[in-house]
Structures are given as C-alpha cells and as structure tokens.
Amino acid sequence: MKKQILVADEDQLILYGLAKSFKDDGCEVKTASTATAAIKKLSHCSYDLCLLDVHLADSNDQRLMKMIQDICPHTKIIIMTTSYLDSPELSENINTAIAIGVAHFIAKPFSLCDVTEVVRQVLAEGENFHTQFRYNGSGFTEKSRKHPRKCYIEKIPFQMSVIENGVPTRWSLEAKAVDISGSGIGLLSRYPLEKSQIIGFDEEMGNRTGVVVWSIMIDEEKCRVGLEFV
C-alpha cells in the first residue's frame, strides 16, 4: 500500500517540488497552502506523514500542531521552519513539538535530497524511528538514533564542575529526565547547561558520565538537553 503524505506550505514551488519528489518515490501526495485546507484534508484521509510549515498565515503554530494530533494521532509530523533559535516563536514551537512527539525539524532553505532521505527514514521505521535535533547556526542538523529512547520521567541528581570566582567548584544539581536509552538521556534542567559540558550521575544511574551534545532554552526557566553517555 502506498504511503499517504500531506505537504502544507504557502510556497507553491515547495509544494510542487516536494509533491513531485515523493510521488517519484511511490507515495500518494496531497498539498495544502493554508491551515484550513490542511485540516480539511486531514479530516477526510488517513495520512502517514504531514510535512508542515508552522508559519501558515491562517492559524496559530501551536494550535495547528495540536489539531493535527487530535484529528490524526497516528500521523507523523515533520516541521519545516525558517525561524532562528533565539526567536520566541521557535522556542514555543519546540516546546510543543517535544510534547506531541514531532518526528523531525527541517530548516529552510533545504536540499530536496536531504528532505527526501529524512522522509524515507521516518516512513520506513514507523514508531521505531527517533531523531534528535539541534541548531547549528544556519539550520537544524538531524541524526537518527541508533538506540531508540523510551519515556523515563524521574528527577535525576547530577554533578558538574564550574569555575566560580576563578576557583574550580563541584556543583550538585537536579534535573527532570524525559527519556533514556542505552546511549544517552534527555533532561529538562533549570540550570542552563551548554554543549560539551561533562555531567556526572549518582549510583542510581550507575555512576555514569554524560556529555551535553545539544541544548535549547525552551522558556526563561527551562533548558532541554540531550546527553550521550561516555
């Protein structure tokens, strides 16, 4: 059975290019240039995947993502965005996207080949496909996880070394875990952790050490962090 894909974007060239590429890959593709049209099509068809520009003029970004989840809970979502990391709207979208399990972020402008490859991976792996995303200054980079993470909601104590008044100091802090795998853990921290920082965990985590591989402030008080165990 052919995979069903919906592409929602105001740019007609993007709609045409993506639709042609996915059809050449053997998928059934529908397009929508407004949020209203996208919701109408989602209401009449079961889609495997929706590629969504979160800046459609006739809908609030977060509202549209939540509506798609409500109407088609099994439809995977890939977000397409031109937002910059420090924009409030992107922080809000990331927060919402994490909560509803968005499969991927794709930064505009993008390579058609790169988008096609991401879509192939998401459709091929289904529920077992997990991605991490991070911003590199000009766009998001994506990397498939070799070890799918599972939900793990716990408060996790950790330690880290900082320089305080010129003196090395060991701090003991606490964060909320959101997911975990054999290779890493996702945290929500009130302390703004930075990429490449080394984190030490207590005995309940096997005295493991982790390194921060990406970090995003999702609001003024919380930092979303991805760590790899070393």
What ranges do the domains of the chain cover? 4-144, 150-229
Q: What pLDDT is attached to residue 140?
A: 42
Q: What is the mean pLDDT of the chain?
A: 77
For the stretch 122-173, pLDDT in tens is 887 654 444 444 333 344 444 445 555 555 567 889 998 888 787 888 899 9
Q: What pLDDT is attached to residue 96?
A: 60
Tokens 């390579």, residue located: 111
DSSP 8-state class, residue 59: S
Asked whether the predicted pLDDT for residue 205 surpasses 60, the reply is yes
Looking at per-residue confidence, does 56 or 91 come out higher?
56
Average pLDDT of the segment spanning 219-227: 80
Rounded Cα distance, 21 and 142, in Å: 20
Asked whether the predicted pLDDT for residue 6 surpasses 90, the reply is yes
φ, ψ at 174 (rounded to 5°): -145, 140
Q: What pLDDT is attached to residue 15?
A: 92
Query: Which neighbouring-strand residues pair with 199?
Result: 210
**Contact by Cβ (8 Å): 103, 76:** yes
pTM beyond cutoff 0.75? no
User: Which fold would CATH assign to domain 4-144?
Assistant: Rossmann fold (3.40.50)
Asked whether the predicted pLDDT for residue 214 surpasses 50, the reply is yes
Average pLDDT of the segment spanning 212-221: 78
Looking at per-residue confidence, does 51 or 150 come out higher?
51
Looking at per-residue confidence, does 153 or 109 come out higher?
109
CA-based R_g, the chain, Å: 19
Tokens of 100: 């509803």
Q: Three-class SS of residue 1?
A: coil
Q: What pLDDT is attached to residue 30?
A: 94
Largest CA distance in the chain: 64
Q: What pLDDT is attached to residue 195?
A: 83
CA-to-CA dists, residue 84 to 81, 88, 93, 137, angstroms: 9, 9, 12, 8
For the chain, what percent of residues have pLDDT higher than 70?
Answer: 77
Average pLDDT of the segment spanning 5-17: 91
Options 1.20.1250.20, 2.40.10.220, 3.55.50.30, 3.40.50.720; CATH of 150-229? 2.40.10.220
For the chain, what percent of residues have pLDDT higher than 90?
Answer: 14
- Which range has highest mean pLDDT (145-149, 201-205, 214-218)? 201-205
For the stretch 57-106, pLDDT in tens is 777 666 777 788 888 888 888 888 765 444 455 555 565 666 666 777 77
CB atoms within 10 A of CB 221: 10
